[in-house]
Amino acid sequence: MLERFRGLMGRLLTPPARLLIKLGVGPDLITWVGTVALVAVALVMVPLGLLWQAALVLGVISFTDMLDGQVARLSGRTSRWGAFLDSSLDRVADGAVFTGVIIWFALGGRPVWAGVAAAALVLGQVTSYVKARAESQGWQVTGGLAARADRLVIAYLGLLLQGIGVPYALAVAVTVLALAGVITVGQRLRQVRRQADAEEASEVDQ
């Protein structure tokens, strides 16, 4: 859903990207620093119960996920390696965010919600894997109910609202994410299945 705002975000990130280029900062360094910072915040602040603070910091750090790409484009340093690194570290970052949430639920004596958060984590990872695996086979996967940006926004919103005292906000967030994950995986599998069936039919006709 949030993919439509990528153009706007690209324009907003152009000034800081140009500054980083002038300072000699490369896209790979931005990717690594952003991931390490996000993992540290997610695995320290969230389990400690600093939820709204973590939500704000994580939201700011997450902009580096687009900033590295903007730096790469403006500096002419886009590469398959950069895309691979970014995608791989995205999985690490997502895992850290939801692991922090799982730990917070577990420490608070809420094992059921910890389990739901774990389901949201697994389904989110599968959502990304299905897209990557399909594209490696030459199929196209687009859209879906909850892409990565949507999942992070919901998770951060849940942390923020829970942190300022809204009861069950994080529980609702992980439940929505788990359900959205099931639907999104189903949508993407259906897309791939249709393309596979079309290829098989084409081969038969030939």
Residue 206: per-residue pLDDT: 61
The domain segmentation of the chain, as residue ranges, is: 2-205
Average pLDDT over every residue of 61-81: 84
* Strand extents, DSSP E, 74-199: none
Instruction: Kindly name the residue from 90, 94, 150, 205 that is annotated as catalytic.
Output: 90
> How do residues 12-65 score in pLDDT, each as one tens digit?
788 888 888 888 888 899 999 999 999 999 999 999 999 999 999 999 998 777
Pairwise CA distance, residues 144 & 11, whole Å? 25
Among this protein's residues, is 65 annotated catalytic?
A: no
pLDDT for 5 equals 53
- Structure confidence at residue 101 (pLDDT): 98
d(CA 68, CA 36): 14
Dihedral sign for Cα atoms in the order 112, 116, 118, 122: positive
As its CATH architecture, domain 2-205 has Up-down Bundle (1.20)
pLDDT in tens, 112-165: 999 999 999 999 999 989 988 998 888 888 877 878 888 999 999 999 999 999
